[in-house]
């Protein structure tokens, strides 16, 4: 398993991170434990979860299930010290039923990034995980209601207390990220070392307002700031590269639809067929081959079979001709 430095820290993390979002809900405990065991056996070290994972699979789920499952796995295996553990706060949902019914705005739905909220959230995460600290703690959803100074000072306190080693941010536009970094520099607070955003081979269509997706401006910003590592979530867009129905119907595709995407999907289908791999594996390998900026690809398999298929991307070598063909595709 290849690794890359996390920002300018002295930590190296697996370039293929295991997302644990569905563990304990859509994925049962036996399959979850099997994937965790296989991931570490393959040399993987980077586990990703959040306090809100996962309230949305259906009634009875409230969030916290993924962290609790990881806590049971740590207790069973004693392997906490072998992993780089990331979790997130600020997107906790107090009323999952209303959230599932889509009757709440985002401001009403999410707990936010207030100082007391984050302190309580991380304490809850540590309790469910059964650990005394995490390695990386993200602000999961960018909270415009709370002054950044309040959020950043609280996060600095969590680092000082030893409850997290490093900080990250997710679902944030570039201008806010720059403001965060300026404030950290001004007040001597620890700055984020990881940026978790949606990132795949397809490019966000011009004019789309989804700020959770990396665009060309944000990639340029990351190239200029190597102390910040991109953690790419949804790199395979829920399997869209191998399913024409998802290409048509998946809600996430609203941000990508257009001639550019049609051309890129066609390129993936052609090259994947020539290489004898799935489109998902090809795209995941493409993400892993990118060097500027450096990036981690985050997979979230639901089954051990999906896990095994996606892990094969780490061994797929794409030659220069393939990479040029993929990069040149588009309208």
Residue 115 pLDDT: 98
Per DSSP, 153 falls in state: H
Distance CA 272, CA 319 (A): 13
Using CB atoms within 10 Å of the CB of residue 241, give its burial: 0 to 12 exposed, 13 to 18 middle, 19+ buried.
buried
pLDDT the model gives residue 1: 86
Domains of the chain in start order, with CATH, are 3-328 (3.20.20.100)
Residues assigned a catalytic role? 53
Beta pairing partners, 3: 14
pLDDT class of 105 with cuts at 50, 70, 90: confident
| pLDDT at residue 314, as a whole number | 95
In Å, what is the CA distance from 101 to each residue of 26, 52, 109, 168, 288? Answer: 19, 17, 11, 30, 37
pLDDT digits (tens, 9 = 90+) for 10-38: 999 999 999 999 999 999 999 999 999 99
Mean pLDDT calculated for residue range 200-210: 95
Element (H, E) at 3: strand 3-5
Chain segment 211-245, per-residue pLDDT in tens: 999 999 999 999 999 999 999 999 999 999 999 99
**DSSP string over 57-126:** TSTT--S-HHHHHHHHHHHHH--GGGSEEEEEES--BS-HHHHHTT-S-HHHHB----HHHHHHHHHHHH
What's the CA gap between 329 and 281, in Å, rounded?
18
Alpha-carbon distance of 330 to 304, in angstroms, equals 33
């Amino acid at each position: 398993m290849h690794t890359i430095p996390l920002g300018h820290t002295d930590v190296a993390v697996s370039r293929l991170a295991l997302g644990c979002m569905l563990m304990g809900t859509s994925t049962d405990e036996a399959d979850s434990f099997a994937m965790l065991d296989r991931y570490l056996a393959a040399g993987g070290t980077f586990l990703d979860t959040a306090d809100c994972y996962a309230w949305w699979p259906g009634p009875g789920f409230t969030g916290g299930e993924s962290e609790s499952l990881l806590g049971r796995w740590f207790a069973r295996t004693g392997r906490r010290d072998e992993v780089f553990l990331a979790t997130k706060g600020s997107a906790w949902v107090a009323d999952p039923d209303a959230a599932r019914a889509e009757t709440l705005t985002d401001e009403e739905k999410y707990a936010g990034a207030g100082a007391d909220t984050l302190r309580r959230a991380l304490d809850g995460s540590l309790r469910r995980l059964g650990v005394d600290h995490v390695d990386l703690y993200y602000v999961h959803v960018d909270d415009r209601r709370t002054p950044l100074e309040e959020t950043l000072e609280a996060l600095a306190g969590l680092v000082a207390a030893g409850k997290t080693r490093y900080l990250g941010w997710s679902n944030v536009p570039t201008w806010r990220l720059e403001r965060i970094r300026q404030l950290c520099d001004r007040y001597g607070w620890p700055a984020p070392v990881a940026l978790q955003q949606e990132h795949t081979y397809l490019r966000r269509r011009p004019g789309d307002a989804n700020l959770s997706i990396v665009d060309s401006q944000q990639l340029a910003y990351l190239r200029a700031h190597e102390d910040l590592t991109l953690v790419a979530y949804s790199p395979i867009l829920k399997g869209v590269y191998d399913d024409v129905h998802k290409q048509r119907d998946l809600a996430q595709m609203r941000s990508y639809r257009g001639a550019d995407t049609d051309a890129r999907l066609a390129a993936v289908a052609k090259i994947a067929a020539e290489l004898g791999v799935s489109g998902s594996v090809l795209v995941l390998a493409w993400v892993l081959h990118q060097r500027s900026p450096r990036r981690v690809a985050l997979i979230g398999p639901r089954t051990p079979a999906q896990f095994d298929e996606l892990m094969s991307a780490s061994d797929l070598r794409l030659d220069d001709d393939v990479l040029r063909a993929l990069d040149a595709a588009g309208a």
